[in-house]
Amino acid sequence: MSFSQAWDAGFRALLLYVGIVFVWLGLIEGLFSSQSTSVVVMNVVAVAIAVAFFLRARRRAVAERARAEAEVRALVEEHI
Amino acid sequence: MTNLLRKSLLAAAFMASTAPAALAQECNDADRVPITWSTIAGFYTDAMAKLVSGFEAKHCVKVNVVNIDNSQLYNKQVIEMVGETGAYDVVTLETSEKAEFAENGFILPMTDYFADKKAQLDDVAPTLAALTTQYKNDTWGLPYYTYTAGYIYRADLFEDAGEKEAFKAKYGYDLAAPTTWAQHRDIAEFFTRKKGDKLKGEELTKDFYGIGMMAGPFPEIQDEMSGVLWSQGSDWLTDEGKVPVDAVEKAMNDYLALLKFAPPAALTVTYDGVMNQMKDGQIAQTYSFFLDQWPNAVQTETSVPGARMGVAEAPEKKAYIGGFLLAVSASSAHPKEAMDFVAYIGGHDAQAEFAKAGGTSTLMSVLSDPQFADPANRTKTGHFSTLLTIFDSMKGFRSNLFDTPFGAKIYNTMQIPLQAAAAGQIDARQAAEQLAESVDQICGGPCPIGK
Amino acid sequence: MLQRDSSFAKEALRYGLIVLVLGFIVFPIFWMIVTSFKPAADIMVSPPRFLFTPTLENYYHAIYDKNFLFYIKNTLFISVASTILVVVAGSLAAYSFARYNVGDGHILFFILSTKMFPAIAVILPYFLIFRDIGKTDAGRFLGIGLDQPGALIISYTMFNLPFAIWLLVSFFQDIPRELEHSARLDGLSRLKVLRKVVFPLAAPGIAVTGVFTLIFCWNEFLFAYILTRKAASTVTVGVESFFTLQGILWGPVAAAATISVLPMMVFVLAMQRYMVRGLTFGAVRG
Amino acid sequence: MSQSLSVSLPQQRRASGAVISDRWFSILLIAPAMAVILVFALLPLVYALNVSFRFADLTRGGIGDFVGLDNYRRVLADRAFWASVGVTVKFTLAAVILEMVLGIAIAFLIHSATKGKGIIRSLMVLPLATSAAVTGLFWRYLYDTQFGLINYFLGLLHLPQPNWLGDYTIALWSVVLFDVWQWTPFVALIALAGLQALPKEPFEAAELDGASTFRVLRTLTFPMLKPVLFLVLVLRTIDSVRLYDAVAVLTRGGPGTVTESMTFYLYRTGLKLFRMDYASTMAIFFLYAMLVASLFALTPLLKQFSNRASEG
């Protein structure tokens, strides 16, 4: 995974995290009796989802890179 | 007010303003202490320039006047206060803003400054002084201009024999300046005519309306409604710091009943719009309206043939008491000079000069000065005697709106629900409830009232 | 495309529509200019007056009593300075993005996203920043502080850079690299290539960017209003000084507005021919 | 973001033995712009973020205690905030769609005009050169029910005379109309420039093939204009969402709050009530929404930029 891709995925993961916080505060928090519990659970959920998103992006990037390298290798071999 | 008392006041005021004259005999321009006064744009600019140079002649001070649009004055001043920039030495405050500036330490109390100038302080119309200069037992400056509300109407219509007769026939009492809100409504209804109908026996070439109102997106709608609310014995805030929903609803309903007789532009304009309608011969009377606009209103007599303007106390003898307070910023680098300036502008000489230019003075000695009662000065100061009556009728009046440090914020917000009701989007009850809710939000609960 | 089957009626219809559209576009400005020549008594009247004795009173009031040319002078200085800064800094950065792809698009995205933060939310921090800069020696020396032109110039530069860079990137991408390569092979340094080859070729784009920046600076109100008091006030703030306690002085406002709009109109009209090519933002390629 | 495999192209290009590498040169080029942007974009953002987690009534002691997420909770539960979001969305949709459709239509109208294109274009530029704060004032005058020209003409034609800015059902559309007046020429001019820049050959070929006008539009003109139209669309949308001047001068959010856009509400909260905590929190919501939207809207554009940049 290149730095550029990591940056991109990281930025999206951050937006995802913030988005989950907003949605949680607006819609879900009312279901909790204690605000502090809600905040803890919210953070756990948001971090988990954001990290999962990042990892998925990373796996994809790695796979894509491998595929591209394989293609290049194939091309190079063909030429030889 | 007796003649004797007036003379002694004059003498005291004169002494107060001439005392420092000797100090400024030798003053180089380079030595002048700079002070800045933030005030309303286009505010009797010529007269003010003269007053300022009068002050500079007596004090080794250079006064820099910054003109700001009235609707932006509040936030611009607050920003400079919050930033403690010291950019404005003398600030100009609306009645509802005084408590906030005083409570938060933006302006300096002038109680000590006036300790030996009591006569000058006592010359300020007491009703006005109570509302504009006093907060928590301190004096915070001097008002230099009042836009206290009254009632302005087309006297020529009220004196027309045909109209009088028709009115009497329809309502069973004589047509005259109204003393109750019910009469006021009748008059508004009576004078509302369509194009082609007759007014004063002449055919109208355009629609004519019974009343001009200021229900546009500006705070003036609450100034209009204040008189009605106060004449019910209520206020915008109870002593507990809550909005009295029932009373506001009632005042709102009265307002809506009148709005039927106002031109449609009432929903978009403020006082200048009403004055334009008056000068164009479209309306017969105002609601509770700022009397300082009298010199403006009188121009109707030249723009509408046969028109003659009348001014009276508002119905039920209650109306908005407004004045621009001059106060000294806490971040001022030269508070002493700034206070001298406040005392000078709010003092007798400057105020008399100001009144000659058409400004509405705040001093008893000026308002009651016989030269301003002279019919020759009617187009500029014809409303002074009415003002004296209003101050007299409302003696001892206080409003909690002017005594809460949240007054300015409430004042800047309350037009929203009121205007929504005026436009017909919500009803009077909803407006009152929304007002209560937003006031509660602004104060974070009941509003503190500092007496 | 449609010309081939145009009959006279069709052409008449077309010009009829064009006149209608132009009427709609021009009329409000026309009415503003008409108002500026009206005596006070002829403005707020119903029915509206189309015939009146023109007067220069309003211009006299605006220029002499209100010293409106002072605001024009301030605005001119601030707008031109900001525009130059924006065009120079923006062109350099845009060229870098276009040719070297610095930051792989992320920096460009970041730059664009700064335009998304509402101006009203940054105005108070700006006020505090410039207050503090103004207290330093450097601030005093450079004229960067509250009520000084530097504060507005920096603000406007900041607010226009993202837009400017965005527009310019596509123009620079349109310039064939081969030209630069051959210039480099001829022994010109990179900066010389920029000055002698790239910028002249991107001139229409730079012109359009400059025009938009200048218009924005000229017409900006909020920052001018908060960050200045008097000495550095611009025209949009100056117009407010006609909102008096006796009401809006429509005649003088119209005169002031006409004066303040005039330089922009003349400028835009002068640039108009030049702008046509630039207005496609390099986005249409044959 | 970049899909290209940046293999070893840079080395090849460093042919002419420069003092500094391409990489440093490119960084130096963006340095001046970045310096300004970093300081004056990040500082306010940091300030806003900080304040959004605190109590901050500027008139009462400035920035106060840490309050956690309370401001966010309060803004999310604030009906006035959501109402202002609704107003902004309504305004943006209406104004942008109208401006795009009318602008493109006008561009076609003018494009095939044979004479006077120069003067037409010159007149079209005029609204762009004026500030909303100033011309808005004259629109208020035109809209006035007692003195305005619009209702005067409607009256002559015996048409209904609406209370443009006072009737709560149409006030927002009156603001839209003003915006359309100011910005349609912008769209039209750009679309026109786009039309004029189109290459002639494909159209001549289509004509020879006898393709219908509609088919030419659909298969040739619009696809070729798409990039420039998309750019205009994005520009107009960003500007419309930040609607402030027009509202401030025409209606001040009234009647009631029917024309209170998000930025106007922000102004009222921040500069009238001086609740910087709520104002900053709302600004962050605003920024967030814009970032998410631009991630979708701008990614294609940026991808196009970086692809073209990394093409040899």
pLDDT at D228: 80
What is the pLDDT confidence band of residue D306, given thresholds at 50, 70 and 90? Answer: low
CATH for C261 = 1.10.3720.10
C137-to-C130, C140, C144, C162 alpha-carbon distances in Å: 13, 5, 10, 30
C20-to-B343, B434, D110, D142 alpha-carbon distances in Å: 60, 45, 12, 18
pLDDT tens digits along B190-248 = 999 998 888 888 898 889 999 999 998 989 999 999 988 998 889 999 999 999 999 99
Model confidence at C269: pLDDT above 90 = no
Three-class secondary structure of residue D55 per DSSP = strand
Question: Closest partner residue to B303 among C41, C47, C229, by Cβ?
Answer: C41
Cis ω on the peptide bond leading into residue C47 (within 30° of 0)? yes
Q: What percent of chain B lies above the pLDDT cut of 70?
A: 94
Chain A neighbours (≥3 Cβ pairs under 8 A) are C, D
Nearest CA in chain C to B82: C128
Element (H, E) at B68: strand B61-68
Look up residue C163 and give its amino acid.
Answer: F
What's the DSSP call for residue B262? Answer: S
Residue B81 shares a structural domain with residue B194: no
**Chain C residues 119-178 within an 8 A CB cutoff of chain D:** 119-126, 128-129, 154-155, 157-158, 161-163, 165, 169-170, 173, 177
Contact D2 A4 (CB under 8 A): yes
Q: Note whether B53 contacts C: Cβ–Cβ < 8 A.
A: no
Domain housing B247: 149-317
pLDDT tens digits along B256-289 = 999 999 999 999 999 989 999 999 999 999 999 9
Residues from chain A that touch D1, judged by Cβ atoms under 8 A, are 4-5, 8
Pairs across A and C, CB distance < 8 A: 6
Determine, yes or no, domain membership for D181: yes
Please give the average per-residue pLDDT across D127-156, as a whole number.
89
Q: How far A3 CA lies from chain C's nearest CA (Å)?
A: 10
Separation CA C282–CA B364 (nearest Å): 72
pLDDT at B83: 86
Please give the average per-residue pLDDT across B370-375, as a whole number.
88
Question: Closest partner residue to C173 among D18, D231, D308, by Cβ?
Answer: D308
Our CA dihedral for C205, C208, C214, C215, rounded to 10 degrees, sits at: -150
What is the residue-wise DSSP string for B283-339? BSBBSSEEGGGHHHHTTHHHHSTT--EEEEPPGGG-----EEEEEEBTT-S-HHHHH
The separation between the first and the last C-alpha atoms of chain B, rounded to the nearest angstrom, is 28
What is the residue-wise DSSP string for A38-68? HHHHHHHHHHHHHHHHHHHHHHHHHHHHHHH
Separation CA D96–CA B71 (nearest Å): 30
Model confidence at C262: pLDDT above 60 = yes
Pull the structure tokens for residue A53. Answer: 């998103």
What is the pLDDT confidence band of residue C221, given thresholds at 50, 70 and 90? Answer: confident
Domain boundary among the residues B388, B404, B423 is at B388
CATH for D188 = 1.10.3720.10
Determine, yes or no, domain membership for B305: yes
What is the residue-wise DSSP string for chain C? --GGG--HHHHHHHHHHHHHHHHHHHHHHHHHHHHHTS-GGGTS-SSPPS-----SHHHHIIIIIS-HHHHHHHHHHHHHHHHHHHHHHHHHHHHHHHHH-GGGGHHHHHHHHGGGS-HHHHHHHHHHHHHHHHHSHHHHHHT-STTSHHHHHHHHHHHHHHHHHHHHHHHHHTS-HHHHHHHHHTT--HHHHIIIIIHHHTHHHHHHHHHHHHHHHHH--HHHHHH-SSTT--HHHHHHTTEETTEE-HHHHHHHHHHHHHHHHHHHHHHHHHHHHHTTTT----
pLDDT tens digits along D66-115 = 888 889 999 999 899 999 999 999 999 999 999 999 999 999 888 887 78
D255: buried, middle or exposed (CB in 10 Å: 19+, 13-18, 0-12)? buried
What is the pLDDT confidence band of residue C284, given thresholds at 50, 70 and 90? Answer: low
Q: What percent of chain D lies above the pLDDT cut of 90?
A: 30
B2: buried, middle or exposed (CB in 10 Å: 19+, 13-18, 0-12)? exposed
Q: Of B305-309, C74-78, D291-295, give the lowest mean pLDDT range.
A: D291-295
Separation CA C30–CA D127 (nearest Å): 11
Report residue B34: phi and psi, to 5°: -85, 130
Q: Of C90-104, C259-273, D295-309, give the lowest mean pLDDT range.
A: D295-309
Determine, yes or no, domain membership for C34: no
Please give the average per-residue pLDDT across C96-103, as a whole number.
83
Residues from chain C that touch D105, judged by Cβ atoms under 8 A, are none
D98: buried, middle or exposed (CB in 10 Å: 19+, 13-18, 0-12)? middle
Contact A22 D291 (CB under 8 A): no
What is the pLDDT confidence band of residue B18, given thresholds at 50, 70 and 90? Answer: very low
CATH for B221 = 3.40.190.10
Q: Do chains A and D touch (3 or more CB pairs under 8 A)?
A: yes
Contact C244 B276 (CB under 8 A): no
Residue B105 shares a structural domain with residue B188: no
Residue B305 shares a structural domain with residue B363: no
Our CA dihedral for C282, C285, C286, D1, rounded to 10 degrees, sits at: 160
Chain D neighbours (≥3 Cβ pairs under 8 A) are A, B, C
Model confidence at D11: pLDDT above 50 = no
The closest of B258, B251, B220 to B233, measured between CA atoms, is B251
Residues from chain D that touch B405, judged by Cβ atoms under 8 A, are 60
Q: How far B108 CA lies from chain D's nearest CA (Å)?
A: 15
Separation CA B406–CA B103 (nearest Å): 9
Domain housing A44: 3-79
Q: How far C129 CA lies from chain B's nearest CA (Å)?
A: 10
Model confidence at C275: pLDDT above 80 = no
Question: Closest partner residue to C102 among D27, D152, D235, by Cβ?
Answer: D27
Q: Which of A7, A16, A18, A43 to mutate to test the interface with D (most CBs of D within 10 A)?
A: A18
The closest of D266, D259, D260 to D286, measured between CA atoms, is D266
What's the DSSP call for residue B405? Answer: T
Contact C244 B40 (CB under 8 A): yes
Beta-bridge mates of residue D275: D57
Token pair 């790695």: residue = A62
CB atoms within 10 A of CB B12: 19
Separation CA C195–CA D273 (nearest Å): 51
Residues from chain B that touch D271, judged by Cβ atoms under 8 A, are 75, 79
> Which residues of C fall below an 8 Å CB-CB distance to B?
41, 44-47, 65, 124, 127-128, 131, 146-147, 225-226, 229-230, 240-249
Question: Closest partner residue to C45 among B85, B87, B280, by Cβ?
Answer: B280
B153-to-B213, B278, C129, D47 alpha-carbon distances in Å: 13, 9, 52, 53
Mean pLDDT, chain B, integer = 88
Pull the structure tokens for residue D166. Answer: 């006072």
Contact A8 D1 (CB under 8 A): yes
What is the pLDDT confidence band of residue D310, given thresholds at 50, 70 and 90? Answer: low
Separation CA C87–CA B352 (nearest Å): 56
Pairs across A and D, CB distance < 8 A: 30
pLDDT tens digits along C28-45 = 999 999 999 999 888 888
Separation CA C76–CA C74 (nearest Å): 5
pLDDT tens digits along D160-191 = 989 999 999 999 999 999 999 999 998 998 88
Residues B164/B190, Cβ–Cβ less than 8 Å = no
Please give the average per-residue pLDDT across C111-140, as a whole number.
84
Please give the average per-residue pLDDT across D227-249, as a whole number.
86
What is the residue-wise DSSP string for B346-388? TSHHHHHHHHHTT----BHHHHT-HHHHSGGGHHHHTTHHHHH
Question: What ranges in B3-69 are assigned the alpha helix state H?
Answer: 3-18, 45-58
Number of domains making up chain C: 1
Residues B78/D58, Cβ–Cβ less than 8 Å = yes
Question: Closest partner residue to D256 among B268, B423, B442, by Cβ?
Answer: B423
Q: Of B136-145, C124-133, C218-227, D9-18, give the lowest mean pLDDT range.
A: D9-18
Residues D279/C120, Cβ–Cβ less than 8 Å = yes
Residue B153 shares a structural domain with residue B290: yes
Beta-bridge mates of residue B34: B62
Domain boundary among the residues B290, B317, B344 is at B317
Q: How far C105 CA lies from chain A's nearest CA (Å)?
A: 9
Residues D298/D234, Cβ–Cβ less than 8 Å = yes
Separation CA B118–CA B114 (nearest Å): 6
Residues C202/C175, Cβ–Cβ less than 8 Å = yes
The closest of B280, B296, B192 to C48, measured between CA atoms, is B280
Q: How far C111 CA lies from chain B's nearest CA (Å)?
A: 29
Residues B133/B325, Cβ–Cβ less than 8 Å = yes
Separation CA C260–CA D14 (nearest Å): 51
Model confidence at D2: pLDDT above 50 = no
Pull the structure tokens for residue C135. Answer: 């207290």
Pairs across B and C, CB distance < 8 A: 67
Determine, yes or no, domain membership for B448: no
Number of domains making up chain B: 2
Q: Note whether D140 contacts B: Cβ–Cβ < 8 A.
A: yes
pLDDT at B9: 47
pLDDT at D18: 57
Domain housing C142: 56-278
Residue B184 shares a structural domain with residue B89: no
Contact A25 D291 (CB under 8 A): no
Residues B288/B314, Cβ–Cβ less than 8 Å = yes
Contact D138 C31 (CB under 8 A): yes
Nearest CA in chain D to C101: D309
What's the DSSP call for residue B90? Answer: E
pLDDT tens digits along B232-258 = 889 999 999 999 999 999 999 999 999
Determine, yes or no, domain membership for D82: yes
Determine, yes or no, domain membership for D28: no
Determine, yes or no, domain membership for D52: no
D280-D284-D289 Cα angle (round to 5): 150
What per-residue string of b and e applies to C22-56 under the rule 16 or more CB within 10 Å gives b?
A: beebeebbebbbbbbbbeeebbbbbebeeeeeeee
Question: Closest partner residue to D145 among B75, B265, B413, by Cβ?
Answer: B265
Domain housing D239: 72-310
What is the pLDDT confidence band of residue B427, given thresholds at 50, 70 and 90? Answer: very high
Q: How far D76 CA lies from chain C's nearest CA (Å)?
A: 18
What is the pLDDT confidence band of residue B1, given thresholds at 50, 70 and 90? Answer: very low
Token pair 């390298």: residue = A69
Please give the average per-residue pLDDT across A24-41, as a whole number.
88
CB atoms within 10 A of CB B155: 17
Determine, yes or no, domain membership for B247: yes
Residue B253 shares a structural domain with residue B281: yes
Beta-bridge mates of residue B124: B363
Three-class secondary structure of residue D103 per DSSP = helix
Chain C neighbours (≥3 Cβ pairs under 8 A) are A, B, D
Three-class secondary structure of residue B180 per DSSP = coil
pLDDT tens digits along B60-101 = 999 998 888 888 889 899 989 988 888 899 999 998 899 999
Contact D59 B79 (CB under 8 A): no
Q: Note whether B296 contacts C: Cβ–Cβ < 8 A.
A: yes
Residues B389/B313, Cβ–Cβ less than 8 Å = yes
Question: Closest partner residue to A68 among D5, D68, D76, by Cβ?
Answer: D5
Q: How far D66 CA lies from chain C's nearest CA (Å)?
A: 19
Better pLDDT: D1 or B401: B401
Residues from chain D that touch A21, judged by Cβ atoms under 8 A, are 69, 72
Determine, yes or no, domain membership for C78: yes
Residues from chain C that touch D33, judged by Cβ atoms under 8 A, are 89-90, 92-93, 111, 161, 165
The separation between CA D81 and the C-alpha centre of its own chain, rounded to angstroms, equals: 20
What's the DSSP call for residue A27? Answer: I
Determine, yes or no, domain membership for C46: no
pTM attached to this predicted model? 0.89
Q: Of B147-161, B353-367, D76-90, D107-121, give the lowest mean pLDDT range.
A: D107-121
Determine, yes or no, domain membership for C71: yes
Residues from chain A that touch C104, judged by Cβ atoms under 8 A, are 4
Number of domains making up chain D: 1
Separation CA C261–CA C241 (nearest Å): 17
What's the DSSP call for residue B436? Answer: H
Domain boundary among the residues B331, B355, B388 is at B388
Determine, yes or no, domain membership for B296: yes
Residues from chain C that touch D23, judged by Cβ atoms under 8 A, are 100
